[in-house]
């Protein structure tokens, strides 16, 4: 079991002790790496784990609402994506998620999404595997064609009933009549203050419980079934890519360093260095829509 300390699996921005992760790779990490070296490692890998974060979706125009200049009204994601905010102001939180759902429904996969999906399909024919472990809650990896996908932070396109727990895929637009044309992000827009009985409600038998987005809020723990699958992939992969993530939201931020501590090559693709760059064998700086298609293209040694 790689994630021995279950206390750290709650989603949050906390700083994880770096002491437990120090290993021999610390000395070999470099700021910008040689792509031809990475390509040699890639050509030999049999089980590739690709961890993706908001940067991949940002290139499709899906905002994260984490930066100081990326607010929804006057709030950032962590102010609204919490159990406390949902129980205090379910109407405001639903407006926020309605806005994000509508936005995501209208976006197309980026070059990075497509490169990952194409790589999975190509390598599968060679008896090799690619798994995508994503923090993104939109549907863009699946739309691009990725099949082996672990959505560790849940999905914007699913709901979960707070009364009976029923989870359902839901891509309705708008999700309910009261949210039609609501959720505008501008700072001067007032809350719609929709009565709770007009918010999305459960359709299971006579339940009628309040629905919430089936995403992992800050402070909540990840689904244990998905976490077990992630652990299996972390233990068996022989190459890991960490793509478009700032590596500050836990527990996902420690997946790459945990894999690196096993001696497995880890390559980071991001617009900037991150707090975890020093743990990785490779670092490729730039938009992942530019770097990933080069990195994952067919290698001369592949026979298909
Ligand atoms: Zn229900």
Q: Please name which of 216, 218, 217, 241 lies closest in space to residue 226, comparing C-alpha atoms.
A: 216
pLDDT tens for 130-140 read 999 999 999 99
Distance between Cα 158 and ligand 1 center (Å) = 13
Token reading at 38: 């990475």
Q: Tell me phi and psi for residue 68, to 5 degrees.
A: -60, -30
Q: Are 256 and 266 in contact (CB under 8 A)?
A: yes
**Residue-level pLDDT at 228:** 96
pLDDT tens for 233-243 read 999 999 999 99
Of 16-20, 64-68, 232-236, highest mean pLDDT? 232-236
Q: How far is CA 232 from the centre of its chain?
A: 18
Residues with catalytic roles: 153
**Residue-level pLDDT at 196:** 98
Determine what percent of the chain is predicted with pLDDT higher than 70: 88
Confidence of residue 31 (pLDDT cuts 50, 70, 90): low
Distance between Cα 219 and ligand 1 center (Å) = 23
Q: Is the pLDDT of residue 159 over 50?
A: yes
Distance, CA of 109 to CA of 142 (rounded, Å): 9
**Residue-level pLDDT at 25:** 43
Token reading at 177: 């009549």
pLDDT tens for 68-108 read 678 999 999 889 999 999 999 999 999 999 999 999 999 99
What domains can you pick out in the chain, each with its CATH number? 1-62+109-153+223-304 (3.40.50.1220), 63-106+154-215 (3.30.1600.10)
Q: Tally helices (H) and strands (E) across the chain.
A: 11, 9
Q: Is the pLDDT of residue 174 over 60?
A: yes
Confidence of residue 164 (pLDDT cuts 50, 70, 90): very high
Distance between Cα 163 and ligand 1 center (Å) = 5
Task: Write b or e for each residue in 155-172: b if 16 or more Cβ atoms lie within 10 A of its Cβ, otherwise e.
Answer: bbbbbbbeeeeeeeebee
Distance between Cα 200 and ligand 1 center (Å) = 11
Q: Please name which of 112, 159, 130 lies closest in space to residue 284, comparing C-alpha atoms.
A: 112
Annotated binding site for NAD(+): 53-72, 244-246, 270-272, 288
Distance, CA of 282 to CA of 265 (rounded, Å): 8
Q: Is the pLDDT of residue 270 over 90?
A: yes
Q: Is the pLDDT of residue 261 over 50?
A: yes
Annotated binding site for substrate: 97, 100
Confidence of residue 304 (pLDDT cuts 50, 70, 90): low
Q: Is the pLDDT of residue 160 over 60?
A: yes
Confidence of residue 168 (pLDDT cuts 50, 70, 90): very high
């Amino acid at each position: 079991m790689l994630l021995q300390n279950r206390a750290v699996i709650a989603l949050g921005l906390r700083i994880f002790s770096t002491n437990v992760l120090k290993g021999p790779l610390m000395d070999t990490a470099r700021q910008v790496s040689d792509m031809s070296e990475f390509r040699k490692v890639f050509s030999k890998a049999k089980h590739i784990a690709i961890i993706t974060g908001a940067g991949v979706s940002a290139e499709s125009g899906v905002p994260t609402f984490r930066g100081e200049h990326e607010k929804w009204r006057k709030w950032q994601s962590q102010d609204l994506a919490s159990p406390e905010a949902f129980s205090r102001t379910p109407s405001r939180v639903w407006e926020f998620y309605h806005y994000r759902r509508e936005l995501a429904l209208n976006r197309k996969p980026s070059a990075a999404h497509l490169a990952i999906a194409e790589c999975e399909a190509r390598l599968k024919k060679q008896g090799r595997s690619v798994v995508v472990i994503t923090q993104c809650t939109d549907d863009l990896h699946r739309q691009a064609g990725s099949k082996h996908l672990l959505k560790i932070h849940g999905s914007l396109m699913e709901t979960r009933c707070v009364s009976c727990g029923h989870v359902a895929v839901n891509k309705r637009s708008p999700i309910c009549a009261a949210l039609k044309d609501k959720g505008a992000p501008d700072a001067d827009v007032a809350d719609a203050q929709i009565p709770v009985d007009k918010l999305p409600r459960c359709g299971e038998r006579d339940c009628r419980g309040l629905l919430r987005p089936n995403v992992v809020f800050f402070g909540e723990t990840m689904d244990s079934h998905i976490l077990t699958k992630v652990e299996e992939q972390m233990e068996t992969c022989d190459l890991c890519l960490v793509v478009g993530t700032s590596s500050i939201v836990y527990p996902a931020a420690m997946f790459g360093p945990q894999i690196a501590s096993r001696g497995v090559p880890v390559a980071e693709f991001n617009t900037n260095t991150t707090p975890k760059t020093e743990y990785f064998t490779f670092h490729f700086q730039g938009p992942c829509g530019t770097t990933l298609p080069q990195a994952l293209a067919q290698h001369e040694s592949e026979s298909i």
